[in-house]
Structure 1
Amino acid sequence: MGWFSPRSILVKSFAALLALASHSYAAENASYDGIGLSYFEQTNGEKTDTEFVHYLMPEDDVQSSLTSVLELPPLPELPKPKPEEEPAAEKTEEVEKPKEGKKEEKVEEEEDTYGYFEYVPYGHYYHVDYWFGEATWKNSAELGLNGQTGNTESNSLRVGAKIRREGKRTIFSSDIRHLRTSGENGLTQNNAYVKHKLEWPLKIYERWSLFEKTDIEYDEFKAFDMRLVFNGGVSYKPYKTEATDWTLSVGSGFSQEYGSPQKGVIPEATLGSELTHQLTEKQSFQIKFEFFPAFEADQGYRSVTDASYTIALDHGLSLKLSAEDRYDSTPNNRKRNDLDYACLLIWQF
């Protein structure tokens, strides 16, 4: 009997029908209640083959089951995240609050003061501090009036100003003064002078310094119209405290008179002493003496003595009593002494 004979075909077909019928019968009698449920929703009863096919996962950890089935190496443990470090707290300075009843004290910042005007803007080349650096200024103006009417009529006027500049390397001072007195017979006094002094303190020893002085004097009632005095030298402070300042000076120079019978330049020496003392917080006095002997004996000598007493008032005002004596050994038929005394009101700024 061949493979494709009618008999073999019928036999094989009948066998296939029987297998199909048995399979359909088994399928009808099988229980499919657990299909579609999750692993945790299954019943505790016996599991059928069908359930085993659909639920291969045993009742163990899911990750270990997958690892065993798929034969994968265990997953590496991830490093535990480190706790975030808190940012360093910014250091904050504790500001002390002012106590009640006390005003808050302002801390003054150190600022470079630049002369009388506090600073010199760029381009202000005409200001002395622009060329010579930082400095402190002490300025004052003085005024004195005296008058009389009745049997005699007279009036006297005295005005002046002082400038002092203290820098890091130099000290400059200047004094300007004018006196005028008139009476019934006309003008009896009319003179003026300008004095200036420049000092260079030595770094070797703070009590020593070099100086240069120039004086210009005008007097209508003297034998000369104008006198020019120039000298220089060295000065020394034998005693100096917060209240007292004593300075000695020695040097040489020359003087020349214009409009005077005495012609030519006269070489002369200079000797000086200046004492300033603060009696109290508001009272002080000053004594100043200058001596100018000529190198030639027949040309004589000159001296100037100045004394003053000052009382400080309010609002930068001061009251000053002063006397000045000027002596000339060769007055050319004029009086040798000229004494000026005054009561002045001074304004410091």
Structure 2
Amino acid sequence: MGWLSPHSILVMSLATLMTLASHSRASENASFDGIGLSYFEQTAGEKSDTEFVHYLMPDDELQSSLTSVLELPPLPELPTPKPEVEKPAEAKPEEVEKPKDAKKEEKPEEEEDTYGYFEYVPYGQYYHVDYWFGKATWKNSAELGLNGQTGNTESNSLRVGAKIKREGVATIFSADIRHLRTSDKDGLTQNNAYVKHKLEWPLKIHERWSLFEKTDIEYDAFKAFDMRLVFNGGVSYKPYKTDATDWTLSVGSGFSQEYGSPQKGIIPEATLGSDFSHQITEKQSFQIKFEFFPAFEADQGYRHVTDASYTIALDHGLSLKLSAEDRYDSTPNNRKRNDLDYACLLIWQF
């Protein structure tokens, strides 16, 4: 034991020798025959006290001295631990308030698809599915109503039609389809139809400018031609545009051709147009459209179409529409120059 001094060891050795000496007399005549034998090998008889020498308690005086010598020093007092101070809970990263002036990390803008030189012109992109069915807003409607006509024929008839408009990121596509068929007691008195298609590309150089392409196909069994094809294109400009009012002017050129008509060949012509629409109230609106097609050669005449409509919105996507359309042709080939169609229509928007 490292904590005993040499002096203490010496005292303990002397105490052991004195104990042995005090008991040596009592054991002079004792027999030591049983020492070194196991418990089972010893003979029965009076046991000697010699073998219990190391187990006898020392005298009182010696015991007191040994107790004082062997007394362990007191343990040093351990320092009292200080009470732990509760630290405030650390705020989570998402709960830390960012300074108001800190700028948000701007994500890199995704590059938009470009179409040709003007970035919106679909040069070589007509075959791409995303061009026709990408992200866009669709406005579709179907119409059904009564139709009246004065001019080459005078009758009342049933009119059906549909309109489609798609406003995409790069283009605006619209189509108008209509068919009129009327019969009276003498037989078929009216049978005409038209399909109008227009495609616009808003230009990035200025938000009010755009390019356009138009294709019109007209069929009429009671005119001098069986079918007329009109194709033109150009540029359009919006001199006035608000949430309630939209006014568009257009200018361009193209050609027309009549099939089954005395007038043969392709007729080059210009196109001038004005399209004005206004939302009067939340449920009432009107639109007036004018298109003028003068031929480049004076003797080939000119045409113009005026279309006006007034619409009242009803419930469940239904609307009531009053419309009138006047078509004028300066070269009717022995037919009347004007054809006026007017109708009261019920429109369902979907």
TM-score, normalization by structure 2: 0.68
- Once residues 22 and 75 of structure 2 are traced to their aligned partners in structure 1, the CA distance between those partners, rounded to angstroms, is 43
**Is residue 282 of structure 2 the alignment partner of residue 290 of structure 1?**
no
Residue 186 of structure 1: how far off its partner (Å) = 1.4
SS in 1 for 2:69: coil
- Once residues 202 and 255 of structure 2 are traced to their aligned partners in structure 1, the CA distance between those partners, rounded to angstroms, is 23
Instruction: Check conservation: 2:144, 2:347, Cα contact below 8 A.
Output: yes
Match of 1:311 in 2: 312
**1:35-184 alignment runs, 5 A limit:** 48-54=61-67, 56-58=69-71, 60-62=73-75, 88=90, 90=92, 129=130, 131=132, 133-145=134-146, 156-184=157-185
Residue 221 of structure 1: how far off its partner (Å) = 0.2
Instruction: Check conservation: 1:129, 1:135, Cα contact below 8 A.
Output: no
- Once residues 19 and 241 of structure 1 are traced to their aligned partners in structure 2, the CA distance between those partners, rounded to angstroms, is 129
Identity %: 79
In structure 2, the CA distance between the partners of 1:218 and 1:51, relative to structure 1 (3 Å rule), is same
In structure 2, the CA distance between the partners of 1:48 and 1:92, relative to structure 1 (3 Å rule), is farther
Could you list the runs of 5+ residues in structure 1 that have no partner in the other structure?
1-16, 25-34, 37-46, 65-75, 94-125, 148-153
Instruction: Check conservation: 2:161, 2:179, Cα contact below 8 A.
Output: yes
Instruction: Check conservation: 2:147, 2:341, Cα contact below 8 A.
Output: no
**Is residue 227 of structure 2 the alignment partner of residue 252 of structure 1?**
no
Residue 55 of structure 1: how far off its partner (Å) = 5.4
- Once residues 317 and 333 of structure 1 are traced to their aligned partners in structure 2, the CA distance between those partners, rounded to angstroms, is 42
| 1:11-43 deviation per Cα after TM superposition (whole angstroms, max 9, x unaligned) | xxxxxx99944999xxxxxxxxxx69xxxxxxx
SS in 1 for 2:316: coil
| 1:65-123 deviation per Cα after TM superposition (whole angstroms, max 9, x unaligned) | xxxxxxxxxxx99x999778676465788xxxxxxxxxxxxxxxxxxxxxxxxxxxxxx
Larger relative contact order (C-alpha < 8 A, sep ≥ 6)?
2
Superposition CA RMSD, Å = 3.6
- Once residues 129 and 234 of structure 2 are traced to their aligned partners in structure 1, the CA distance between those partners, rounded to angstroms, is 24
- Once residues 301 and 83 of structure 1 are traced to their aligned partners in structure 2, the CA distance between those partners, rounded to angstroms, is 97
Match of 2:38 in 1: none
| 1:227-267 deviation per Cα after TM superposition (whole angstroms, max 9, x unaligned) | 00000000000011111000000000000000111100000
Residue 285 of structure 1: how far off its partner (Å) = 0.3
Total equivalences in the alignment: 267
Instruction: Check conservation: 2:208, 2:238, Cα contact below 8 A.
Output: yes
Match of 2:239 in 1: 238
Match of 1:344 in 2: 345
- Once residues 313 and 18 of structure 1 are traced to their aligned partners in structure 2, the CA distance between those partners, rounded to angstroms, is 132
SS in 1 for 2:299: helix
In structure 2, the CA distance between the partners of 1:18 and 1:138, relative to structure 1 (3 Å rule), is closer
SS in 2 for 1:52: helix
| 1:184-203 deviation per Cα after TM superposition (whole angstroms, max 9, x unaligned) | 22111110000000000010
SS in 2 for 1:56: helix
Residue 130 of structure 1: how far off its partner (Å) = 6.5
Read off the aligned partner of 2:137 and give its amino acid letter. Answer: T
Read off the aligned partner of 1:326 and give its amino acid letter. Answer: R
Could you list the runs of 5+ residues in structure 2 that have no partner in the other structure?
1-20, 29-56, 96-126, 149-154
Match of 1:325 in 2: 326
- Once residues 278 and 187 of structure 2 are traced to their aligned partners in structure 1, the CA distance between those partners, rounded to angstroms, is 40
Read off the aligned partner of 1:56 and give its amino acid letter. Answer: V
Read off the aligned partner of 1:144 and give its amino acid letter. Answer: G
Match of 2:6 in 1: none
Residue 156 of structure 1: how far off its partner (Å) = 1.0
Residue 52 of structure 1: how far off its partner (Å) = 2.6
In structure 2, the CA distance between the partners of 1:163 and 1:129, relative to structure 1 (3 Å rule), is farther
Match of 1:118 in 2: none
In structure 2, the CA distance between the partners of 1:325 and 1:131, relative to structure 1 (3 Å rule), is closer
